[in-house]
Every structure is written in C-alpha cells, then in structure tokens.
C-alpha cells in the first residue's frame, strides 16, 4: 500500500510538473483592446501645417448640431461631457468661409491633440468605403427581382450601454419569442423567405452582388429606370456577426492577402456565379434600409457624411462627433487630413481603426476599394474636460 501511495504521489507530482511546463510554454492571450491617449502638440501631427482644415469644418458643424441636442451632462467617453463642446462648436459656427490658415488657428485654439495608442502600440489601419449607386425599380419583374428590404417590425435593437456602462458602444439585435430575445434570422434565412410575410421590399435590384456591396457600405443610391436617383440609408441590421469574404477566399487559396480588395472580391463573385450565393451566405449579417428624405448619405451619428472628411470608427473607444487627424500611407500614397467620427461599421473594430468615406459613385469606389493604409491617428479634444486614457 505504501508503494501504491508513493507511486500515486509521484504520478501526481509528475502531472503537476507537466501542467506547469505546458502552461509556461502556452502563448499568452493578447490583452483586450484599450485606447490610450498621450498629449501631443500640433507640431507633432505630420502634415498639419499644410492641411486642408477648412474642408473639414462642414463635417464638424454637422456633428456639433447633433451634440447640441444632448444635455450638458451627457457623457462622451474620452470626449468629456456635451457641455465641453458648446464653446468650440459656437466658435466653429462663427467662422465665415475661413481659409485653411484661419481654420487651422481655430482648431489650435479650441482643441488639444492626443496621440492614440492601443496597449502601447500606435499602428493604425485606415480603409475606405463609399456610397454605391445601383439600378433598381419599385416593382418586381423578371429583370428587377432582388428585394432591398426595409427594417422588419419584429427586429429589436439593444444598446447594451443602457444596461451597464462597461458595455458602452456594444449593440445586439434579435427578436422576441415567448418573452425571450433570441438571435435574428441569418442572411440565408432572410433570402429564403423568413421575412416575406412582412412585405418589406422598398425597391428591387437587378443583381444580388450589387445588394451585397450596398449592405457592406451601409447606404447608397438607387437609380430607377426613368433616371430618378433616390438615396437610401442604413436602418438597422440583424445583429449577426460580420464575416469578411476576403478572409474566406484567402483561407481557401482563391487569392492572397495582398490581393484582397472590394474589387477583387466582386470580380471573384461575378466570375463564379454558381458559388457566389453560398459564399455571400457565409456572412450572416444583413442590413436593412430606409429612404433618406434629405437626399444625402447619413452616418450612424444621424448626420450627412462629408466625402474625404467623415470616418467610421468603433464607438466603444472613439465617440461619434470627435475629430481625428489621419497620418497614414499605402506605398507612396500618403493620406493626411482632418476627419470627423460620424459613422460605424460591422468590420470597424478596435481603438486604432477608421474607415474613410470616399464619396459617391465609381470614382469613390475606385479609391475606397483598395484603400488599406497604415500609420497613426490623433484625436482632437476640447481644451477643457479632457480625460487621458
């Protein structure tokens, strides 16, 4: 018996030693994303002295109009309180067709720049998006048979930040079944007719690939057969996680990572019509639309987007309405400009992530599709009420 106990103790000790060795060798999980802000000077912002700051003022003023609707004590994360924006917004509104020099002087007096890092890393990624224009009709026909759907009445969107401050910026969506919120229908289920009973079609497009990229961009323009152009915008999504088709194609060896772009993915889909639907269905996320009465694409902040000066961000880290200085490059192409956080996107995750709105139509698509620039981001915050992260 003593020998048995000794053997058991030896086996236990050996197992514990093996566990410790394996634990020591196992890779550590990366730390969760965390925005850190370090005070900088405007002279630290590459290209600031030569920037076109006046062109960004319309975007800032649109965000100011949204911020003006908030109570003074509304919290804006790293942006302080809504009251902190009253003075700089009033000063921005008082500028009358300013030159770049005058706009630059305004920003330098009203704001303070902060270098943005994520757990000590400063490598930021800036991609691009645009407003597509697709052919569509009001009535279904043999040519126009791909429905562009309005928001369904049973879709429930939940802002988790309303329930717990640590969940600020997180959202889920679903539908209520027997008093419980359950996941909403997937893309494949919706396209198979899960929502047909609601008769939600706003328009009918000619091509499912056109609709897919319209949903990725989040807003667009439909061109009717008589030439009428109608703006439509994001009105909710099914809450399913966004899955990037580029990653799937790379994993399957259909293209390499450096070949992935909006254009290359679209080319693949159109070249493989028999496989296109199955691939698109692997992204279960589905976006719903509404007609925009103002005739301009709207971001998640609820304001019209400004080409080249509006960006989509992750609102868990960067509240909407805040201006950022972009200093990124892709090869020899350098992008340095002031933009305002006015939109969000399912694929835009993390503190150092921005998606630049490039405008409307084919030329905007040509810029946005291949854009994948890296560099640094700087956040501009009012001189008062600033909290460093």
**CA 61, chain centre distance (Å):** 21
**CA 78, chain centre distance (Å):** 18
202 and 268 belong to one structural domain: yes
Distance CA 224, CA 204 (A): 10
What is the enclosing helix (H) or strand (E) of 357?
strand 353-360
Asked if residue 13 belongs to a domain, the reply is: no
Reported as a pLDDT band with limits 50, 70 and 90, residue 166 is confident
340 is in which domain, residue-wise?
Answer: 35-128+301-382
More confident residue, 76 or 30: 76
Reported as a pLDDT band with limits 50, 70 and 90, residue 91 is very high
Asked if residue 84 belongs to a domain, the reply is: yes
pLDDT digit string (tens) for 174-216?
999 999 999 999 999 999 999 999 999 999 999 999 999 999 8
- Structure confidence at residue 2 (pLDDT): 46
Asked if residue 6 belongs to a domain, the reply is: no
Question: Would the pLDDT of 21 be above 90?
Answer: no
CB atoms within 10 A of CB 330: 15
Question: Closest by alpha carbon to 220, among 374, 67, 381, 357?
Answer: 357
φ/ψ of 68, rounded to 5, equals -65, -20
Coil/strand/helix, residue 168: coil
Domain count, the chain: 2
Question: Would the pLDDT of 25 be above 60?
Answer: no
72 and 141 belong to one structural domain: no
Residue 359's CATH number = 2.40.40.10
Reported as a pLDDT band with limits 50, 70 and 90, residue 26 is low
Asked if residue 344 belongs to a domain, the reply is: yes
Percent share of the chain, pLDDT over 70: 92
Match 């969107």 to its residue by tokens: 157
54 and 110 belong to one structural domain: yes
287 and 317 belong to one structural domain: no
264 and 138 belong to one structural domain: yes
**Looking at residues 94-104, what average pLDDT do you find?**
95
118 and 249 belong to one structural domain: no
Question: Would the pLDDT of 283 be above 70?
Answer: yes
**CA 80, chain centre distance (Å):** 22
Asked if residue 371 belongs to a domain, the reply is: yes
* Cβ-contact 156, 181 below 8 angstroms: yes
178 and 219 belong to one structural domain: yes
Task: Tell me the HSE value of 127 on the side-chain side, using a 13 A CA sphere.
Answer: 17
Transcribe 302-313 into DSSP letters: SSB--TTTEEE-
Q: Of 268, 291, 314, which one is at a domain's C-terminal end?
A: 291
72 and 179 belong to one structural domain: no
Q: Of 260, 291, 322, which one is at a domain's C-terminal end?
A: 291
Asked if residue 190 belongs to a domain, the reply is: yes
φ/ψ of 243, rounded to 5, equals -115, 125
φ/ψ of 224, rounded to 5, equals -80, 160
pLDDT digit string (tens) for 238-262?
999 999 999 999 999 999 998 888 8
Q: Of 291, 313, 342, which one is at a domain's C-terminal end?
A: 291
> What pTM was computed for the model?
0.74
* Cβ-contact 377, 352 below 8 angstroms: yes
**Looking at residues 263-287, what average pLDDT do you find?**
95
- Structure confidence at residue 15 (pLDDT): 52
CB atoms within 10 A of CB 93: 14
CB atoms within 10 A of CB 204: 20
- The mean predicted confidence, pLDDT, of the chain is 90
360 and 251 belong to one structural domain: no
Residue 194's CATH number = 2.40.240.50
pLDDT digit string (tens) for 311-366?
999 999 999 999 999 999 999 999 999 999 999 987 899 999 999 999 988 889 88
Reported as a pLDDT band with limits 50, 70 and 90, residue 29 is confident
55 and 201 belong to one structural domain: no
Distances (CA, A) of 107 to 201, 303, 323, 377: 45, 21, 10, 16
Question: Would the pLDDT of 388 be above 60?
Answer: no
Asked if residue 388 belongs to a domain, the reply is: no
Sheet containing 156-159: which strands, arranged edge to edge?
156-159, 171-177, 180-183
**Looking at residues 296-314, what average pLDDT do you find?**
92
Question: Would the pLDDT of 5 be above 50?
Answer: no
Asked if residue 17 belongs to a domain, the reply is: no
Beta strands (DSSP E) in 224-332 are: 229-237, 287-291, 310-312, 323-330
* Cβ-contact 336, 54 below 8 angstroms: no
Question: Would the pLDDT of 122 be above 90?
Answer: yes
Reported as a pLDDT band with limits 50, 70 and 90, residue 369 is confident
171 and 223 belong to one structural domain: yes
4, 10, 11, 15: CA torsion to nearest 10: 160
Phi-psi region of 236 (alpha: psi -120 to 50; beta: other; left: phi over 0): left
106 and 50 belong to one structural domain: yes
- Structure confidence at residue 264 (pLDDT): 92
CB atoms within 10 A of CB 376: 18
CA-based angle 315:263:56, to the nearest 5?
A: 40
Largest CA distance in the chain: 95
């Amino acid at each position: 018996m003593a020998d048995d106990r000794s053997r058991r103790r030896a086996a236990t000790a050996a197992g514990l030693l093996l566990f410790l060795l394996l634990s020591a060798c196992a890779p550590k999980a990366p730390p969760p994303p965390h925005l850190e802000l370090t005070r900088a000077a405007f002279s630290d912002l590459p290209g600031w002295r030569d920037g076109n700051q006046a062109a960004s003022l319309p975007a800032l003023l649109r965000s100011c109009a949204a911020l003006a609707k908030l109570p003074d004590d509304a919290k804006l994360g790293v942006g302080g309180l809504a009251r902190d924006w009253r003075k700089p917004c009033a000063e921005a509104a008082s500028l009358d067709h300013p030159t770049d020099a005058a706009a630059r002087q305004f920003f330098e007096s009203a704001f303070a720049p902060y270098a943005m890092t994520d757990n000590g890393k400063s490598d930021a990624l800036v991609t691009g998006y645009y407003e597509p224009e697709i052919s569509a009709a009001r009535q279904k026909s043999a040519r126009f048979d791909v429905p562009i759907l309005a928001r369904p009445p049973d879709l429930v969107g939940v802002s988790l930040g309303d329930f717990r401050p640590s969940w600020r910026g997180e959202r889920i969506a679903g539908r209520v079944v027997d008093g419980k919120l359950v996941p909403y229908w997937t893309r494949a289920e919706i396209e198979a007719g899960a929502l047909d009973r609601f008769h939600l079609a706003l328009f009918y497009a000619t091509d499912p690939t056109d609709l897919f990229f319209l949903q990725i961009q989040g807003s667009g323009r439909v061109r009717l057969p008589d030439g009428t152009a109608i703006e439509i915008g994001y009105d909710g999504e099914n809450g399913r996680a966004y899955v990037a088709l580029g990653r799937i194609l790379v994993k399957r060896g259909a293209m390499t990572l450096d070949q992935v772009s909006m254009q290359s993915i679209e080319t693949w889909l159109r070249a493989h019509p028999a496989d296109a639907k199955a691939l698109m269905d692997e992204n279960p996320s589905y976006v719903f639309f509404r007609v925009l009465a103002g005739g301009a694409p709207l971001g998640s902040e609820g304001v019209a987007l400004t080409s080249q000066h509006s960006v989509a961000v992750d609102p868990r880290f960067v509240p909407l309405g805040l201006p950022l200085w972009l200093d990124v490059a892709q090869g020899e192409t350098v992008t340095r400009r002031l933009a305002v956080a006015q939109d969000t996107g399912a694929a835009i995750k993390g503190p150092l992530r921005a998606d630049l709105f490039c405008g409307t139509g084919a030329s905007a698509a040509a810029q946005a599709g291949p854009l994948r620039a890296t560099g640094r981001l700087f956040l501009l915050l009012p001189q008062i009420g600033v909290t460093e992260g």
